[in-house]
Amino acid sequence: MKHIISFLLISVFMLFQKSHCFEIPDHADECLQELGMDSSELQDLREKRRDNIEPTHNGKCLALCIAKRGGYVKDTGVNEEAILKGLPAGVSVNFEQCRPSSDADDCEKFYKIFECLRQQIPKKPTK
């Protein structure tokens, strides 16, 4: 389960095997309700990630909410320990390279951080 949440987070925060991008993380329904969104927002987020298209602002906020509930974001920063635990064996990321920018909006700020982290993850060959 932590791989599914890590995928969603780091690729959008969302990153591992392609089959995982279609699984719904535990906290998605809670976040949809909390943010006043319907399930089409989650579907849109998945499709944009699959197609390497930047998500909408709502998608970024949804991913941030899921990351927070999954323990990957705490207070005003990322939970580096939790992210490292969720990565595949032998994979690491340079958090210093992905420090927060001065964006006032948390959804945008964390999207940029996790995109930076995602780009450091080696891509699995597609079959």
Interval 101-118 mean pLDDT: 85
- What is the model's pTM? 0.74
How far is it, in rounded angstroms, from Cα 55 to Cα 22?
15
4-46 tens-digit pLDDT: 334 444 444 443 333 333 334 668 889 999 999 999 999 998 8
pLDDT at 77: 83
Span 62-83, pLDDT tens digits: 999 988 988 888 876 889 998 8
Residues 53-66 have a mean pLDDT of: 92
Determine the pLDDT at residue 118.
Answer: 86
Fold entry, domain 2-120: Recoverin; domain 1 (1.10.238)
* pLDDT (mean) for 90-98: 89
- Amino acid at the residue 20: H
- pLDDT for the residue numbered 38: 92
pLDDT at residue number 65 = 92
Q: What are the CA-CA distances from residue 19 to residues 3, 35, 57 (Å)?
A: 12, 26, 24
Non-local (6+) Cβ contacts of 55 within 8 A are 12, 44, 45, 48, 49, 63, 111
**Beta strand segments in 40-121, E:** 73-74, 77-78
Q: What is the largest CA-CA distance in the chain?
A: 41
Cα separation of 62 and 80, whole Å? 20
Q: What is the CA radius of gyration of the chain?
A: 13
Average pLDDT over residues 92-109: 84
Residue 61's pLDDT is 94
